């Protein structure tokens, strides 16, 4: 799997198909909430998020975030994806308000470019809530607490029953491989489906993949 091939994929169908095939090839061990450091760097963006256990390609070009990635690669390789609140544009170069809940990811691939930029791929680790921020570095750093999602057996059965309904609502030629878990299908759709940033944030904040699946079905049936 090449980082630059992932990074150039555009459109819902392309992104979903790349996500399916990349996820199938990814051999990174699954890490749970216990792998989330107490303090992580934050990467605030507008409607560019990661969901648990799903891959996300990123191109890093701003100087402060180049430094962030370089530091992360020297350490545990974990960064926290967080969404900027509406109206962030007036203070983008500073520290504009962000939502309280995001999702951490671990860098599974990194390509350092000659001019200092990076192409990376991160894999969603676990949702988190910001507790406080550290202002001592050029990029944002936060103390966080994990928000693990652990569906019980009843929820897993319900997810399985919703799987085919979700797949039937996908664009043509974007069906997931059979080996994809029900949770991964829900989270991949939540990450890549064409909806606005506030709706995507609401999907992330829902308490578990079953509620997320139900909300996705409602959103997709309206499109």
Within 8 A by CB and 6+ apart from 102, the residues are 42, 49, 80, 81, 82, 83, 127, 128, 130, 204
* pLDDT averaged per 10 residues in sequence order, the chain, 223 residues: 33 51 54 80 92 94 96 96 86 85 97 96 96 92 95 94 88 75 92 90 96 94 82
- Ordered by where they begin, the domains of the chain are 30-147 (2.30.130.40)
Buried b (16+ CB within 10 A) or exposed e, 54-93: bbbbbebeeeebbbbbeebeeeebbbbbbbbbeebeeeee
pLDDT tens, residue by residue, 129-170? 999 998 889 999 999 999 999 999 999 999 999 998 988 887
CA 178 – CA 36 distance, rounded (Å):
29
- pLDDT at position 14, please? 45
CA–CA distance, 128 with 145 (Å, rounded to integer): 5
Q: Which of 155, 211, 103 is nearest to 203 (CA)?
A: 211
């Amino acid at each position: 799997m090449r980082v630059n091939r992932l990074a150039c994929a555009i459109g819902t169908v392309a992104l979903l198909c790349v996500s399916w095939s990349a996820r199938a090839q990814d051999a990174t061990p699954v890490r749970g909430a216990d792998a989330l450091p107490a303090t992580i760097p934050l990467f605030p963006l507008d409607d560019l998020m990661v969901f648990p256990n799903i891959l996300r390609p990123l191109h890093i070009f701003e100087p402060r975030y180049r430094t962030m990635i370089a530091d992360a690669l020297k350490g545990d390789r974990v960064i926290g994806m967080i969404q900027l609140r509406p109206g962030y544009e007036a203070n983008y170069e500073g520290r504009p308000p962000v939502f309280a809940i995001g999702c951490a990811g671990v860098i599974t691939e990194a390509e350092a470019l000659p001019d200092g930029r990076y192409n990376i791929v991160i894999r969603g680790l676990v949702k988190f809530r910001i507790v406080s921020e550290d202002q001592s570095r050029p990029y944002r750093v936060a103390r966080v607490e994990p928000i693990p999602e652990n569906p019980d057996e009843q929820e897993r059965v319900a997810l399985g029953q919703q799987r085919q309904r979700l797949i039937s609502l996908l664009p043509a030629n974007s069906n997931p491989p059979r080996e994809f878990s029900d949770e991964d299908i829900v989270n991949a759709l939540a990450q890549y489906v064409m909806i606005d940033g506030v709706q995507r944030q609401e999907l992330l904040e829902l308490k578990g993949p079953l509620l997320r699946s139900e909300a996705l079905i409602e959103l997709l049936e309206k499109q």
